[in-house]
Amino acid sequence: PTDYVDLNNGQPANLFSSYTDQTVDIHFKWMKENGIDGAALQRFNPSGLEGPVRDAMAAKVKTAAEANGVKFYIMYDVSGWNNMQAELKTDWTNKMSAYTASSAYAKQNGKPVVCIWGFGFNDNNHNFTAEACIEVINWFKSKGCYVIGGVPTNWRKQESDSRPAFINAYKAFDMLSPWMVGRIGNANQSDGFYVNINKPDQAFCNANGIDYQPCVLPGDLQERQRAHGDFMWRQFYNMKRVGCQGIYISMFDEYNEANQIAKTAESQAFVPAGAGFVTLDEDGTACSSDYYLRLTHDGARMFKGEIALTPTRPTSPM
């Protein structure tokens, strides 16, 4: 139950909890049904008050991933984590490394996958030197891990959202996954990024033996970016054309930032009266609640070559 008034259809305005075993299992069931190979479990600084919750979620994710035949891996988000350099290693050694024994833990080139998100961002929330970041990356490599870097959009040029003189840190990663949320908001902007950012990024990665995992976004629903799936499909098309090694969907269930592909209210009938929430039919095209899961499934099929490369979205909104 919530303090919201009833939904426009008269039903009570209830919310699910992401902490329950049932919710986690359902989310992984949706992934399996919709061709999503794996989930990155975000793990923020576990040394503070959130630590016990983060630990519990890791166990729940392992159970659900194993039960549903979906892979998972740990994604450390170092935002605001001042003692990251020492505490990351302790957390991995004492807690998270045990999860790599799971049959569902993601491996690449035979190595357990770990992502570190936040190295090189040019803001006060990521005050780490390149040397400290390189040391951490190499430490994880020494433990046999395949290390992904969640890095700034402009990592290659080392400008704008990227700190300068960080290229050696970026090159230390096995795979680079530049952040894209807030960078593009329509298909034309995706085309521009394809030419000016993604193609040169891929060329750099190819030349340096680095895998490339760009983001694909459904779009910010509250900002009305989605264009009933055409925005997201254009990105799938462009990333397949660029020849990347993987795709990171931003995000699965980030309802609070309106970037979720998980099931979402189809129309105003399913939101509290007067709440101001935008629904999937915001541009006049009716979309089923699971539309962006189905669209992701088709995008994955195109990425893997199971359907032909096409700029025309094959997925019906309903």
> In the predicted model, what is the mean pLDDT of residues 42-56?
95
Listed residue (296, 311, 305) closest to 237, CA to CA: 311
Which token pair is 200? Answer: 């040169």
Mention every residue, 6+ apart, whose C-beta is less than 8 A from residue 39: 28, 31, 61, 65, 70, 71, 72, 73, 252
d(CA 262, CA 290): 7
d(CA 165, CA 258): 34
Which token pair is 113? Answer: 């996958």
Q: Is 233 helix (H, G, I), strand (E, B) or coil?
A: helix
**Tens digits of per-residue pLDDT, 214-241?**
999 999 999 999 999 999 999 999 999 9
Question: Mean pLDDT, the chain, as a whole number?
Answer: 97
d(CA 272, CA 286): 19
Task: With cut-offs at 50, 70 and 90, classify the pLDDT of residue 48.
Answer: confident
- Name the CATH topology of 21-176+183-213+224-249: TIM Barrel (3.20.20)
Please give the backbone phi and psi of residue 23, each rounded to the nearest 5 degrees, phi first: -65, -45
Paired with 178 in beta bridges are 151
Determine what percent of the chain is predicted with pLDDT higher than 90.
99
Evaluate if residue 246 carries a pLDDT over 90.
yes
Evaluate if residue 70 carries a pLDDT over 90.
yes
**Tens digits of per-residue pLDDT, 255-286?**
999 999 999 999 999 999 999 999 999 999 99
**Tens digits of per-residue pLDDT, 132-169?**
999 999 999 999 999 999 999 999 999 999 999 999 99
| pLDDT for 78 | 98
d(CA 212, CA 149): 10
Strands (E), 78-163: 107-108, 111-117, 146-151
DSSP secondary structure letters along 239-273: HHHHT-S--EES-SS-GGGT---S----SGGGSBT
Q: Is the dihedral of CA 64, 48, 121, 76 positive or negative?
A: negative
DSSP secondary structure letters along 59-97: HHHHHHHHHHT-EEEEEEE-TT-TTHHHHHHHHHHHTGG
Measured from the Cβ of residue 256, the count of other Cβ atoms closer than 10 Å reads 8
Task: With cut-offs at 50, 70 and 90, classify the pLDDT of residue 193.
Answer: very high
C-alpha separations of 86 from 75, 136, 147 in Å: 17, 9, 17
> In the predicted model, what is the mean pLDDT of residues 50-73?
97
Whether the model pTM is above 0.95 = yes
DSSP state of 286: -
The CA angle 257-262-265, to the nearest 5 degrees, is 80
Listed residue (51, 45, 198) closest to 116, CA to CA: 45
